[in-house]
Amino acid sequence: MAIHLGANQYGKAESRVVRIYRDTARHQIRDLNVSSALRGRFEDAHTTGDQGDVLPTDTQKNTAFAFAKEKGVGAIEDFALTLGGHFIDATPAADGARIEIEEYPWERIPVDGAGHDHSFVRSGSGTRTTVVNVEGRGDDRTAYVVSGIRDLVVLKSTGSEFHGFLKDKYTTLAETDDRILATSLVARWRYDHTDVDWDKSYDEIKSLLLEQFARIHSLALQQTLYGMGEAVLQQHPEVAEIKFSAPNKHHFLVDLSPFGVENPGEVFIAADRPYGLIEATVVRDDASDPGSAWLAVPGFC
């Protein structure tokens, strides 16, 4: 019976790296969740137990914390590219490194009309993400960057319809020209290259996604997502494609007629489960080769 090792990767997941900049009394905070994984020629580690090629996951974790001090934490994409390149250089058997970083956003607490110098409140509008895959050495080095946002919870209280859908004997859904549309959006976009002002690009894409969600008169979540993605590709040449995963957070109108009370779109029950799950990719016809960009990105995106 012939058996061999298939695809594998190993690393340290979810190092919670908090970097405070305290050069002045007005502190700054970067709050990260860093995961690293190496892939390559690690057969011996698995088949014979020889760990000579393995840079320990503990070392990978230590490096994330040390780099936060030594190199500083700027845009998460830059931090991930630096870590990924370093891990390949430090590990001769590694062919690729995958660095995933989430950044939790903090805002200054307003005190006496101004943001406090060193007190912060976690802000609620989504978590910034990046997945960076670095491959090769020296001149052959390639890097793929997929950035995004998750847990971006948005709702329209009108301006959303859903009708004209296919019906069969199990269809009970009423057609509507006025419903609540709500989702907790996951969006990930693949950059075409790495010569990008990451913070500016992220801020603009996030604003654009929100603005489009607000502007688009929705005929379905599918149409809203496509419109949001189309706008990003039109206005951001640095983005090759964008993927969305959007739970349709149903809000059902409550029937108050048993109590003799009318309910013209005012009282809803927010259902937890089940939920529609609408997922889509919007991509340029001439998009660059994704290479390993989406490697080990879990789920649809």
Ligand X SMILES: O=c1[nH]c(=O)c2[nH]c(=O)[nH]c2[nH]1
- In angstroms, the Cα distances linking 113 to 25, 108, 122 are 18, 11, 18
Residues 126 and 198: their CA atoms lie apart, in Å, by 17
User: Among the options 86, 236, 243, 250, which is catalytic?
Assistant: 250
**Residue 207, φ and ψ in degrees, nearest 5:** -60, -40
Query: Could you tell me where the DSSP H helices lie in the chain?
Result: 43-47, 57-70, 76-90, 198-215, 221-235
Q: Is 91 annotated as a binding residue?
A: no
4 vs 169, which CB is nearer to ligand X?
169
**DSSP 3-state assignment of 23?**
coil
**Which one of 173, 256, 270, 271 is in contact with ligand X (CB under 6 A)?**
173
Cβ atoms of residues 221 and 181 within 8 Å: yes
> What letter does residue 137 receive in the DSSP assignment?
S
Residue 221 in contact with ligand X, rule: CB under 6 A = yes
Q: Is 12 a catalytic residue?
A: yes
Tokens of 114: 């101004």
293's CB contacts (< 8 A; 6+ apart) are 131, 133, 144, 145, 146, 190
Identity of the residue, 87 or 162, whose beta carbon is nearer to ligand X in the bound complex: 162
Site for ligand X in 252-291 (CB under 6 A): 276, 278
Q: How far is the CB of 269 from ligand X (least distance, A)?
A: 16
Active site residue 200: no
Out of 83, 85, 248, 301, the only residue in the binding site for ligand X (CB under 6 A) is 248
- Does 28 appear as a known binding residue? no
The interface with ligand X within residues 190-209 (CB under 6 A) comprises none
Considering only the stretches 103-111, 214-222, 239-247, 256-264, report the one whose residues sit in contact with ligand X under the rule CB under 6 A. 214-222
CB atoms < 10 A from the CB of 195, how many? 7
Q: Give the nearer residue to ligand X in terms of CB position, either 131 or 246.
A: 246
Return the number of the residue (144 or 162) whose C-beta is nearest ligand X.
162
Nearest of 197, 190, 193 to residue 148 by alpha carbon: 190
| Contact status: 162 vs ligand X (CB under 6 A) | yes
Give yes or no: 206 in active site.
Answer: no
220 binds ligand X (CB under 6 A): yes
Comparing every residue's Cβ against ligand X, the nearest one is: 221
Answer yes or no: is 65 a known binding residue: no
CB-nearer residue toward ligand X: 173 or 254: 173
Residues 207, 175 contacting (CB under 8 angstroms): no
Residues placed in the known binding site for urate: 57-58, 162, 179, 222, 248
Residues of this chain that bind ligand X (CB under 6 A): 162, 173, 220-222, 248, 276, 278
Residues placed in the known binding site: 57-58, 162, 179, 222, 248
